[in-house]
């Protein structure tokens, strides 16, 4: 297993039926002001899973250490989700039990791990309460866990998590948070922040997911309309399907720099995971429940039979 904070450097790798690339660029406005990037991205992978995480430090006067807070957020998500997968393998829990555990317990563990990292780093006024000094490190968090059996998404604060299905349609696993008005956002530094974290659990054989996109709000805010952002997700899928994710990764830094220059001016960080359809069928069958697999096999056999009859009718069929 490996895990790392990417600190703006691009990454590209393959694991099973997934290809993954991540990229972060400093916003055009921050470059003009000579301010450091407030975003953080990171990933971890083993032979059985991938974890992606993106965080956006608040960058406000109230949160002067938010760039570090974003790095702590990514590291916390990577560590907690890696431990979750290892424990779930050892316990052999059902998908239903894993879903319940992920929704009820993982947000609390991720927030607690972030708090521990912040508390260990903070060396300010000891008379301050933890609630006050954690605000200095305020950050949002997006994360995704990809396994052969299920997909798991997390969101706390602004930013976007979307996925594209095999028909090229874009889906948002989370509804828009009513707390996100203007520059306001929920944050890891809030009291009981874990209660504000949204979780989505998708059994892999139920959803035909082909592309996953995680992005800080500097990306979607660069589009004048929400539809423009959703179209960008479709375009990433179309390009990855036609040219491969290697092509997308080679152009991604230039595209994101152009987006921030002509758009929000904010830092932009983005993770893409593309599902290679040529490898998908083998993975889905291997991890599909047996009762589901039998029913699916009959349908496929019937459809294939119809195709052969239509394409190559025998003389007997034409009589």
**Could you please report the per-residue DSSP string of 174-198?**
SPPPTT--TT----TTSTTGGGG-E
Both tokens assigned to 267: 């830092």
Domain co-membership, 283 together with 300: no
CATH assignment of the domain containing 269: 3.60.40.10
> Cα–Cα distance between 112 and 193 in angstroms, integer?
9
Domain co-membership, 84 together with 165: yes
When pLDDT is cut at 50, 70 and 90, the band that residue 297 belongs to is very low
Domain co-membership, 211 together with 316: no
Domain co-membership, 243 together with 315: no
> Cα–Cα distance between 77 and 114 in angstroms, integer?
8
Q: What is the mean pLDDT of residues 294-312?
A: 39
Domain co-membership, 177 together with 297: no
Domain co-membership, 314 together with 278: no
When pLDDT is cut at 50, 70 and 90, the band that residue 169 belongs to is very high
Domain co-membership, 223 together with 82: yes
Instruction: Tell me what the pLDDT averaged over the chain comes to.
Output: 85
0.75 cut: is pTM over it? yes
> Cα–Cα distance between 269 and 24 in angstroms, integer?
4
Domain co-membership, 19 together with 122: yes
Q: What confidence tens digit (pLDDT) does each residue in 214-255 have?
A: 999 999 999 999 999 999 999 999 999 999 999 999 999 999
Domain co-membership, 282 together with 302: no
When pLDDT is cut at 50, 70 and 90, the band that residue 17 belongs to is confident
Domain co-membership, 153 together with 251: yes
Q: Report the sign of the C-alpha dihedral through residues 237, 163, 204, 43, in that order.
A: positive
User: Is the distance from CB of 194 to CB of 110 less than 8 angstroms?
Assistant: yes
Structural domain that includes position 309: 291-319
Domain co-membership, 197 together with 303: no
Closest CA to 43 of 15, 16, 75: 75
For residue 303, pLDDT over 70 is answered with no
Residues 6+ apart with CB under 8 A from 223: 229, 232, 263
Q: How many structural domains comprise the chain?
A: 2
Q: What is the mean pLDDT of residues 76-105?
A: 94
Domain co-membership, 113 together with 125: yes
User: How is residue 217 annotated by DSSP?
Assistant: H
Q: Burial level of 46, CB count in 10 A (0-12/13-18/19+)?
A: middle
Q: What confidence tens digit (pLDDT) does each residue in 271-289 have?
A: 999 998 776 655 544 555 5
Q: What confidence tens digit (pLDDT) does each residue in 98-148 have?
A: 999 999 999 999 999 999 999 999 876 667 889 999 999 999 999 999 998
- The pLDDT assigned to 15 comes to 77
């Amino acid at each position: 297993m490996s895990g790392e904070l990417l600190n703006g450097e691009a990454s590209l790798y393959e694991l099973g039926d997934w290809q993954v690339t991540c990229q972060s660029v400093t916003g055009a406005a921050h470059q003009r002001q000579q301010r450091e990037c407030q975003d953080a991205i990171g990933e971890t992978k083993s032979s059985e899973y991938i974890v992606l995480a993106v965080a956006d430090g608040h960058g406000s006067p109230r949160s002067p250490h938010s760039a570090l807070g974003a790095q702590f957020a990514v590291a916390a998500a990577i560590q907690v989700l890696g431990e979750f997968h290892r424990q779930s393998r050892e316990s052999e829990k059902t998908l239903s039990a894993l879903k319940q555990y992920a929704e009820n317990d993982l947000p609390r563990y991720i927030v607690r791990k972030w708090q521990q990292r912040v508390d260990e780093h903070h060396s300010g006024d000891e008379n301050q309460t933890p609630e006050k000094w954690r605000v200095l490190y305020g950050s949002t968090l997006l994360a995704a866990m990809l396994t052969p059996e299920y997909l798991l998404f997390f969101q706390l604060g602004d930013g976007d998590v979307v996925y594209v299905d095999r028909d090229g349609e874009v889906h948002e696993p989370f509804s828009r948070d009513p707390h996100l008005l203007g520059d306001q956002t929920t944050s890891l530094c809030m009291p009981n922040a874990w209660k504000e974290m949204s979780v989505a659990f998708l059994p892999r054989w139920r959803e035909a997911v082909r592309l996953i996109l995680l992005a800080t709000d500097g990306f979607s805010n660069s589009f004048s309309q929400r539809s423009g952002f959703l179209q960008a997700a479709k375009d990433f899928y179309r390009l990855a399907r036609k040219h491969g994710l290697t092509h997308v990764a080679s152009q991604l830094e230039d595209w994101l720099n152009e987006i921030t220059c002509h758009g929000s001016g904010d830092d932009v960080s983005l993770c893409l995971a593309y599902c290679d359809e040529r490898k998908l069928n083998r993975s889905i069958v291997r991890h599909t429940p047996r009762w589901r697999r039998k029913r699916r096999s009959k349908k496929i056999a019937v459809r294939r039979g119809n195709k052969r009859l239509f394409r190559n009718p025998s003389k007997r069929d034409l009589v």
